[in-house]
């Protein structure tokens, strides 16, 4: 026990050494914040980073969009222009900004002034007045587009090297150009005429007053009432005597009904009323049934509710028909072929070989007024004397020069051309037909001129045409189309036509189906001309407000049927037949085309078609007071032109057209079911369905091709933005360190003339402090002498251009863009060739000039369209089983070939 006790002090000491340090000297343990606070801090950090990322993303996207807005036009021009591309110091207008600027230009005052310029004097095709309007239109192109020196007259004779080179050289043009082409068709002018009633001894008991009667109430009508007599263009000269026979509208079914009734038409004078079909076919029907001559009159029954019977006063004192008005017009057989009758299928040069025309009558005809028709019709009414009618129509058939005026705005894509056209000639004054269209085109040209002055260059070339001698039979456009058929086939991607733009309250459009959606979309973006809150497309439902209790049942039925047929269309866009200058483009070459404007309804003031009363007073008082519809049509046509010219992928909907073909086939099957012809259309239907599938794949390729190109544009814009932002920051840093920020190119400042006071640097490389430069980062500059402001501005633009040009030239990913552009170009080629695919060189039976097997003017309609014309007429007119089978097979092969062409 003692030993143990002795050890205790040692152990005690050892234990003392191991005593822990006092708590106060030990570092306090790390205290963890509460879990909720750690989460809050992490959340705030994440939110801050996310906000920074979103801001950066938005800034980048905004910056990229701004870069695209500023330079997309230049880059697209660079991509499509290739070696032909040249740099411009201005921003290249494109897209919505270009459209907005254009739409701000057309205005009523200017349109009215243009109408008065063209419609207050007679300008029949081939006359001195007509040549004056050609020079007026040329001067407009020269002044507004910069297309040559105003006052100079580049006048070429068709077929000469100058004329040929003017059109064939369009793809090589680098600046706007305009000229006049002279063609030499055979037309006629009136000499003397008469319509008389003879008694049994051959004595004249009544003589018609064939000239229109007008006074100073309508100043121009009163002045020029006898400037152009009442007669039919291209009518047969001669005289005839015979008994009068009434043939209603002179349709095929009207003549068939007369034959069934046992009426002998041989040697008769047939009288028909205007309407239903083209006037030339009325004469053709009379001729083929043995008549000696034909009279055509304007019947108030066709004026709807706006008649004296309903209490409306005749023009010039009211909106109803003047009973002395006469509708002039051509009696060419339009559905056989248009153009110069003596040069079918080839152009009418001064020394062209001529043939005897087969599309003109062999019997004389005359147009007459309702006042004269009333007297004649009493002769054959119950109780009438049915005396002999004598008709004289002496004319002078001769070669007459006409003048097409053409202007060109060169685009970056030289081998794709958009053509817009309107005819200029009139039967007399032509305030509606065609000068309402001419004044609308006048406004389009002014709008395009404004774009050019603001640095715009279209992606595709635009050709503007003022056709002549349309009234005689589409002569000016047809001769040019036949003259340059191969060039049109190779280059023209679309044709936009405007005849008269306003004659009433209802807006209507017609087109090849591939353009239908495009037309409707554009119309839905133009404001309604007279009703706020509505669009131009809403005007397709408009009608006049002049109502009445009395209306002809037959006329009402015809209009209701036409409205129902249009309403049944999925787009509301009609089909093109003939009757205006799109004919040679659609029917001969296969170019996607469109036309339209405001037309009359049965409740509108009576439009005196081809009469002296188609005057400036009528159009300003009744047709379009204020000219708001003229301006709406101008904006509509211009918007289409810009979009067709500037779209990366052509806005042609081949799939809609392909599905319309199946509807056309259903019509044919329905017609065949009413006959004894048993034709199998299954192979044709299968071919159409294959075309539909190929077109759907082409739609996908259209989207992908454009998406790829736009993706490259965004990528290039992002790179461009980054380089510019980096250089700005670098400039700021250099200036902060007291160093100069040199121009991007050493010689950029050398553009300044030493004689002009300038700032130290005309261009600081976009590194301006906020508020010290303009939006382009350029130094403010206020020179003190002479013309220095303009020169300094030019310096700044030039210096800025040096940087952009160098960046574009050095950094532009040409190879990638070329590949993307090539893909787009291949798509556009297929879209262009779609319409060409319906052209068959063999043409349509009995009228081989017409080569489009998809659509043509009806053989007995003239204006109206017949779909699948060769096949339809084999069934309805020829009633020939063998021919119907042949036509179905021919159409099938055409569709199969087209399917192969558009395959991707």
Residues 6+ apart with CB under 8 A from 205: 196, 197, 198, 199, 387
Alpha carbon 313 to its chain's center: 37
Q: Output the CA torsion 57→62→65→66 (10° steps).
A: -140
CA distance 429 to 426: 6
625 in the Ramachandran plot: left (φ > 0), alpha (ψ -120 to 50) or beta? Answer: beta
Instruction: Note the helical H segments in 233-296.
Output: 252-260, 279-288
The angle subtended at Cα 302 by Cα 544 and Cα 516, nearest 5°, is: 60
- Which residues are known to be catalytic? 470
Residues 6+ apart with CB under 8 A from 283: 232, 235, 250, 294, 296, 331, 361, 363, 365
Radius of gyration, alpha carbons of the chain: 37
Neighbours of 578 (CB within 10 A): 25
* 497 strand-pairing partners: 421, 595
Query: Using an 8 Å Cβ cutoff, are 419 and 492 in contact?
Result: yes
What sign does the dihedral 756-758-761-764 (CA atoms) show?
Answer: negative
Q: What is the edge-to-edge ordering of all strands in the sheet holding 186-198?
A: 204-207, 186-198, 388-399, 238-242
CA distance 340 to 358: 11
Strands 244-246 and 269-273: parallel
Burial of 48 (0-12, 13-18, 19+ CB in 10 A): exposed
Q: For residue 548, give both structure tokens.
A: 């009445």
| End-to-end CA, the chain | 113
CA distance 134 to 137: 5
Instruction: Note the helical H segments in 387-455.
Output: 435-453
Residues 6+ apart with CB under 8 A from 90: 454, 455, 797
Q: For residue 288, give both structure tokens.
A: 């083929």
CA distance 752 to 798: 9
Burial of 310 (0-12, 13-18, 19+ CB in 10 A): middle
| DSSP state string for 767-784 | -PPTTSS-TT-PPP----
The angle subtended at Cα 397 by Cα 393 and Cα 400, nearest 5°, is: 135
Query: Using an 8 Å Cβ cutoff, are 193 and 236 in contact?
Result: no
Residues 6+ apart with CB under 8 A from 59: none
8-state DSSP, 73 = H
Backbone angles phi, psi at 257, to 5 degrees: -65, -40
* 857 strand-pairing partners: 865
Strands 269-273 and 329-330: unpaired
8-state DSSP, 588 = I
CA distance 469 to 903: 41
617 in the Ramachandran plot: left (φ > 0), alpha (ψ -120 to 50) or beta? Answer: alpha
């Amino acid at each position: 026990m003692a030993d143990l006790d002795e050890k205790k002090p040692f152990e005690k000491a050892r234990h003392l050494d191991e005593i822990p340090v006092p708590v106060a000297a030990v570092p306090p343990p790390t205290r963890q914040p509460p879990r909720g606070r750690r989460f809050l801090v992490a959340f705030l950090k994440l939110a801050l980073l996310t906000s920074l990322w979103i801001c950066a993303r938005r800034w980048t996207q905004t910056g990229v969009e701004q870069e695209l807005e500023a330079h997309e036009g230049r880059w697209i021009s660079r991509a499509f222009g290739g070696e032909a591309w040249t740099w411009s110091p201005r921003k290249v207008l494109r897209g919505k900004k270009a459209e907005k600027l254009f739409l701000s230009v057309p205005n009523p005052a200017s349109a009215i002034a243009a109408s008065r310029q063209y419609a207050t004097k007679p300008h029949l095709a081939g006359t001195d007045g007509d040549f004056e309007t050609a020079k007026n239109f040329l001067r407009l192109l020269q002044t507004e587009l910069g297309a040559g020196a105003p006052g100079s007259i580049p006048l070429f004779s068709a077929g000469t090297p100058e004329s040929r080179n003017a059109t064939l050289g369009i793809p090589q043009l680098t600046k706007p150009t305009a000229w006049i082409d002279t063609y030499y068709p055979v037309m006629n002018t009136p000499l003397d005429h008469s319509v008389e009633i003879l008694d049994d001894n051959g004595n004249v008991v009544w003589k018609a007053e064939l000239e229109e009667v007008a006074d100073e109430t309508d100043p121009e009508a009163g002045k020029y009432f006898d400037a152009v007599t009442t007669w039919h263009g291209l009518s047969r000269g001669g005289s005839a005597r015979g008994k009068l026979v009434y043939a209603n509208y002179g349709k095929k079914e009207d003549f068939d009904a007369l034959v069934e009734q046992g009426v002998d038409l041989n040697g008769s004078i047939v009288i028909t009323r205007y309407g239903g079909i083209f006037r030339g076919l009325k004469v053709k029907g009379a001729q083929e049934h043995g008549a000696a001559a034909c009279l055509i009159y304007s019947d108030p029954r066709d004026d709807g509710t706006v008649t004296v019977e309903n209490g409306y006063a005749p023009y010039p004192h009211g909106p109803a028909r003047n009973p002395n008005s006469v509708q002039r017009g051509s009696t060419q057989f339009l559905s056989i072929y248009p153009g110069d009758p003596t040069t079918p299928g080839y152009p009418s040069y001064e020394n062209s070989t001529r043939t005897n025309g087969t599309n003109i009558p062999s019997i004389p005809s005359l147009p007459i007024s309702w006042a004269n028709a009333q007297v004649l019709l009493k002769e054959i009414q119950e109780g009438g004397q049915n005396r002999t009618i004598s008709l004289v129509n002496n004319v002078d058939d001769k070669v007459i020069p006409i003048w097409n005026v053409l202007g060109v705005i060169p685009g970056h894509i030289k081998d794709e051309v958009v053509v817009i056209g309107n005819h200029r000639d009139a039967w007399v004054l032509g305030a509606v037909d065609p000068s309402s269209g001419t004044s609308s085109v006048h406004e389009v040209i002014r709008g395009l001129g404004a774009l050019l002055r603001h640095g715009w260059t279209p992606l595709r070339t635009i050709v503007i045409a003022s056709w002549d001698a349309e009234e005689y039979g589409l002569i000016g456009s047809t001769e040019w189309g036949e003259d340059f058929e191969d060039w049109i086939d190779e280059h023209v991607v679309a044709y936009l036509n405007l005849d008269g733009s306003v004659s009433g309250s209802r807006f209507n459009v017609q087109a090849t189906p591939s353009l239908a959606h495009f037309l409707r979309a554009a119309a839905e973006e133009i404001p309604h001309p007279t009703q706020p809150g509505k669009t131009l497309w809403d005007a397709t439902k408009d009608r006049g407000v002049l109502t009445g209790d009395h209306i002809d049942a037959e006329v009402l039925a015809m209009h209701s049927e036409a409205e129902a047929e249009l309403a049944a269309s999925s787009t509301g866009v009609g089909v093109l037949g003939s009757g205006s200058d799109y004919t040679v483009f659609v029917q001969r070459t296969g170019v996607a085309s469109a036309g339209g404007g405001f037309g009359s309804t049965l409740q509108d003031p009576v439009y005196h078609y081809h009469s002296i009363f188609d005057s400036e007073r009528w159009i300003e008082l009744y047709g379009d007071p204020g000219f708001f519809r003229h301006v709406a049509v101008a904006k509509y046509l211009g918007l289409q032109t810009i979009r067709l010219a500037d779209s990366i992928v052509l806005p042609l909907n081949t799939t809609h057209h392909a599905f319309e073909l199946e509807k056309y086939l259903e019509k044919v099957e329905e017609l065949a079911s009413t006959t004894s012809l048993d034709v199998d259309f299954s192979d044709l239907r299968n071919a159409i369905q294959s075309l539909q599938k190929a077109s759907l794949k082409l739609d996908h390729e259209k989207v992908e091709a454009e998406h790829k190109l736009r993706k490259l544009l965004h990528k290039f814009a992002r790179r461009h933005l980054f380089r510019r932002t980096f250089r700005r920051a670098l400039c700021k840093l250099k200036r902060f360190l007291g160093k100069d920020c040199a121009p991007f190119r050493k010689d950029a400042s050398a553009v300044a003339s030493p004689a002009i006071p300038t700032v130290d640097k005309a261009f600081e490389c976009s590194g301006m402090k906020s508020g010290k430069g303009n939006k382009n980062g350029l130094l403010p500059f206020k020179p003190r002498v002479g013309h220095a402001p303009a020169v300094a501005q030019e310096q700044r633009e030039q210096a800025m251009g040096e940087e952009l040009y160098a960046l574009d030239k050095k950094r532009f990913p040409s190879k990638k863009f070329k590949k993307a552009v090539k893909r787009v170009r291949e798509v556009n080629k297929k879209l262009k060739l779609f319409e060409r695919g319906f052209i068959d060189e063999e043409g349509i039976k009995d009228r081989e000039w017409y080569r489009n097997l998809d659509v043509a003017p009806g053989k007995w309609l003239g204006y109206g369209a017949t779909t699948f014309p060769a096949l339809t007429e084999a069934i309805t007119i020829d009633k020939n089983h063998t021919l119907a089978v042949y036509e179905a097979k021919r159409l099938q092969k055409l569709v199969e070939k087209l399917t192969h062409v558009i395959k991707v």
